Structure formats: structure tokens, C-alpha cells
């Protein structure tokens, strides 16, 4: 009898868990592409983190029926790794389950949804050297992705631009500083020896 009651409770709990959460996975290949996203970057452009800017615009595809965006509450625009910069890097890997997807790791802007929008973005100082495109997601009231748009094609081959990160550059400066100081040390030793020889 106790066992039966327990199993009834278990079943009730399972039903609650099933209905309340965990929420259903959002699959990228199921998302409608309703936003038209463009950026002022051209294919092959090289942008410097912390310095260069581009402007991104998004607009709801006007051939959609009215009200198609009724549940869009927020638009989130992101910088996303192009396939060439994901190769052999599982920490940037794409996953159709958007909770596990690591393609788009950097927020360009997140704001209340409007059917058209525009934002000027200065490439953030922490963006690493890589190839990128821009993607925008429309989020519903619960923050779940319900639609998207991107600057590249489905295969992510067009309109790819490059970012040169700050760490890459500082490492370069750092190395030349080491080389330079090593060289001046050698030069100093050289002149010291020459001067000493002259004195004799």
C-alpha cells in the first residue's frame, strides 16, 4: 500500500517535472529566418579590436504576414565564429541545440525588439583574432530564441570578416621588446669590451 502511494507520488512528480521544465531544446535548424541582417563590413575586411567600428542593421522580412513578430520581445545581435576559425577548436563548436552552441560568443547589442534597428559597434577589446560573421536572434518574453537572421549564407561562406585581437598585437610588441632589450644588452657588452681594449 505504501509502495503504491509512493509510486503515485512519483508519477505525480514526474508529470510536474515533465510539464514545468526542463524547457524544450531550441534547435537552430528549426528556427525561422525572418530577420534580414546586414553589416557595413565587407568580405575580407580586417578590423582591429578596440579600434574599428561597423554598423549592423536588422529588419523583419516584409513579405511575412502581419503579426509574425508578435512574440518577439528582444533582439540580440552577436559576433559569431566562421567555420574556418572553429576548425579543431571544440570550445567554438557549433551545435544545433542552441543551449550547447558555441558559434556566437560575443554580444554586439541586445535591446528591445523593433521591426527595424541599427547599431554602431566598436569591436570590443576582448574579441580574439578570428574570422567572423554577424547573427541576430529574436527572443520571446522568456528569453528563448524564436527567430534569427545573419549576414552570411546558410553555409557561412559569404561576408566573412577578420578581427585582429589585442592580445595578438601585445604579444608581438612584447616579443619585439624582448628582442630589442636582448640586442641592447649585447651592444652594451660589445662597447664595454671595445672601450676596455682602447684603455689598455
Among 26, 31, 36, 115, which residue interacts with ligand NAG (rule: CB under 6 A)? 36
Per rule CB under 6 A, is residue 61 in the interface with ligand NAG? yes
Among 2, 4, 66, 154, which residue interacts with ligand NAG (rule: CB under 6 A)? 154
Per rule CB under 6 A, is residue 68 in the interface with ligand NAG? no
Among the listed residues 15, 14, 161, 152, the one whose alpha carbon sits nearest the alpha carbon of residue 94: 152
Which residues, including other chains, have CB under 8 Å from residue 119's CB and lie 6 or more apart? 55, 56, 57, 77, 108, 109, 111
Per rule CB under 6 A, is residue 63 in the interface with ligand NAG? yes
Tell me how far apart the alpha carbons of residues 159 and 15 are, in angstroms, rounded to a whole number: 47
Per rule CB under 6 A, is residue 116 in the interface with ligand NAG? no
Among 23, 29, 155, 196, which residue interacts with ligand NAG (rule: CB under 6 A)? 155
Q: Is the CB of residue 76 less than 8 Å from the CB of residue 104?
A: no
Cell (9 digits) for 88: 579543431
* CB 176, min distance to ligand NAG, A: 42
Q: Is the omega angle on the peptide bond into residue 51 within 30 degrees of 0, that is, cis?
A: no
Per rule CB under 6 A, is residue 29 in the interface with ligand NAG? no
Per rule CB under 6 A, is residue 153 in the interface with ligand NAG? yes
Which residues of the shown chain bind ligand NAG in the complex (CB under 6 A)?
36, 61, 63, 153-155
Amino acid at each position: 500500500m505504501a509502495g503504491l502511494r509512493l509510486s503515485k507520488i512519483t508519477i505525480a512528480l514526474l508529470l510536474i517535472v515533465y510539464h514545468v521544465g526542463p524547457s524544450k531544446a531550441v534547435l537552430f535548424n528549426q528556427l525561422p529566418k525572418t530577420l534580414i541582417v546586414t553589416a557595413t563590413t565587407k568580405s575580407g575586411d580586417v578590423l582591429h579590436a578596440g579600434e574599428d567600428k561597423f554598423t549592423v542593421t536588422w529588419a523583419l522580412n516584409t513579405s511575412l504576414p502581419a503579426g509574425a513578430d508578435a512574440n518577439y520581445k528582444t533582439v540580440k545581435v552577436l559576433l559569431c565564429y566562421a567555420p574556418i576559425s572553429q576548425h579543431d577548436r571544440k570550445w567554438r563548436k557549433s551545435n544545433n541545440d542552441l543551449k550547447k552552441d558555441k558559434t556566437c560568443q560575443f554580444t554586439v547589442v541586445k535591446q528591445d525588439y523593433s521591426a527595424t534597428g541599427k547599431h554602431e559597434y566598436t569591436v570590443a577589446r576582448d574579441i580574439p583574432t578570428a574570422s567572423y560573421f554577424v547573427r541576430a536572434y529574436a527572443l520571446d518574453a522568456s528569453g528563448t530564441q524564436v527567430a534569427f537572421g545573419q549576414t552570411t549564407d546558410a553555409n557561412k561562406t559569404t561576408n566573412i570578416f577578420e578581427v585582429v585581437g589585442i592580445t595578438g598585437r601585445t604579444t608581438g610588441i612584447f616579443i619585439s621588446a624582448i628582442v630589442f632589450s636582448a640586442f641592447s644588452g649585447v651592444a652594451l657588452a660589445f662597447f664595454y669590451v671595445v672601450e676596455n681594449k682602447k684603455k689598455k
